[in-house]
Structure 1
């Protein structure tokens, strides 16, 4: 494909970067990304992915906007309270970049419908709020060999990691958290609190990781977890070890 004059103008600041250039921008325009959750993490991530020109965005979220979302979920305003998050998100994406193909799925993801809802995109960005869903997403991505960017926040901390668990020596998300979690094991923002700006940082970082995966620039960050402490503030990175007995990505998984 050739970039149009409008695309050359819109994405000029990308194209002049030698790590991206015209070829990298074409990869973004041709990319298909599924985002799990349109909340605190999904809101900034979706805005940056749309602005970057990611050609197709699918968002899975069955929730509606509530007043207590507005402190951190920056896609929504007071007038959106009671409206479906995928509906409002679609309007915002189209306003940012009319060329983006947007799919909004207002269903709750579970082990039965995960394959249908997620599909087979080039990348999945998971910003949901419970371990049960995260593990379902991880297992699907591992089986289908889809790169997974996972981001989470709590109080004053953000965690962002990229996983390709089907590759030798590289972990999946389940290697990181194990099998013990269910829907009740995830502490909620309502119980513990969260600084709204941490959601913006995590979502932007997750969008950066997604773009890095699609284009392939910079040092490889797969299998690493980036942890930002907003109280210090400080960013540190740890390497996640692949679990040889992992039920999601080990050779015996699913057998």
Structure 2
């Protein structure tokens, strides 16, 4: 529980009017609103989860909000990152978020940390705040945030989303578990698809983000029954909530310092393996592919290894859809073998080149079919060959 000196906090006439619906709640009242005004919250990320929680924390009267982000607003963000608007596309997310926060609550102090959170800066940034809210979307930053909160004894309000499912809990609060109790080891790189690969229902971010905001406010108010020790799982398609108990692992390693979290999660190793794989693989540019497609050549086969819904968005003329998951399970391998009869050359593409390289490696290793990877995939095709092809 946070224990500010409430005698030093004054509510203004504007505060009484602005927060009147809080003030008449016995569970909040004047003292509770003073706690909110005295509190400082650091939000790591101002994207899908950060957007709704920042809006509600600002509206609730949090006195100081810190933002950590280094990204810019993209059109693809607007489907779920509701703190940003079309006029902010191409501009820094934290500037966009600050503008919206101050529009909601001009009396909130907004601190901007336009940087990538790292082992070098995390402790310095986090130490100045009462509570940390994790709105990140990658494992290295989640482990980093967790470990820094443990070292500094800060509550860590956690949420994550993917497709139609989300989860939320509170870590490192009043002796409760931390992130390493839920995930002692990170999954292998690439095993868990990102939202950019698998998609996410926009409103799911709002549900999980507002739950994070709710838990943050409860901690500030000193209310019981937080999600500490409980992992809340939500399925939007089924409209069902369920809960799992979390307990501290008595034999978990003691966190004594921050480490190299990219290394811990196997990112450099995976990138090196991917680079070596692509170095040993024949590649072609999208302009070379266009020239081939425009020629009279018929000694090649072009396959698209993206998912069917991606193919429906955009496709390259003449490409045959064989999704990577089908190649990974072996079901698509025989289809490829049928296509490359009579010595035809195999060419593969995906969204940006990674999945097609993986598919070609599988085909080479399993049935000895070598192929050529299209650099940059259909994203490069849209940017360099045909701008009418939608990007996503």
Q: TM-score category by the smaller chain? A: over 0.9
The reply to whether residue 201 of structure 1 matches residue 201 of structure 2 is no
Would the aligned equivalents of 2:170 and 2:215 in 1 still touch at CA under 8 Å? yes
**Structure 1 equivalent of residue 225 of structure 2:** 219
CA 1:105–1:164 in 2, change beyond 3 Å: closer, same or farther?
A: same
The reply to whether residue 210 of structure 1 matches residue 210 of structure 2 is no
Bigger Rg, structure 1 or 2: 2
Deviations 1:116-139 (A, max 9, x none): 222331100001010110110000
**Structure 1 equivalent of residue 385 of structure 2:** none
The reply to whether residue 58 of structure 1 matches residue 58 of structure 2 is no
The reply to whether residue 177 of structure 1 matches residue 160 of structure 2 is no
Would the aligned equivalents of 1:142 and 1:165 in 2 still touch at CA under 8 Å? no
**Structure 1 equivalent of residue 295 of structure 2:** none
Deviations 1:29-82 (A, max 9, x none): 000000000000000100000000000000001100011111100011222111
**Structure 1 equivalent of residue 148 of structure 2:** 140
**Structure 2 equivalent of residue 245 of structure 1:** 251
How far apart, CA to CA, are the structure 1 residues paired with 2:116 and 2:167? 23
Deviations 1:167-219 (A, max 9, x none): 2xx21111111133477555211111100000011111110010001102252
Q: CA deviation at 1:3?
A: 1.6
The runs of at least 4 aligned residues of structure 1 exceeding 6 Å deviation read none
Unpaired stretches in structure 1, ≥5 consecutive residues:
none
TM (normalized to structure 1)?
0.93
Number of residue equivalences: 249
Root-mean-square deviation (CA), in Å?
1.6
Deviations 1:4-44 (A, max 9, x none): 21111100101111111111110000000000000000001
Q: Residues 36-51 of structure 1 correspond to what in structure 2 (within 5 A)?
A: 36-51=44-59
How far apart, CA to CA, are the structure 1 residues paired with 2:255 and 2:65? 30
Q: CA deviation at 1:113?
A: 1.3
TM (normalized to structure 2)?
0.61
SS at match of 2:54: helix
Q: Which has the higher contact order (CA 8 A, sep 6+)?
A: 1
**Structure 2 equivalent of residue 129 of structure 1:** 137
CA 1:179–1:112 in 2, change beyond 3 Å: closer, same or farther?
A: farther
Would the aligned equivalents of 1:64 and 1:85 in 2 still touch at CA under 8 Å? yes
Unpaired stretches in structure 2, ≥5 consecutive residues:
1-8, 258-392
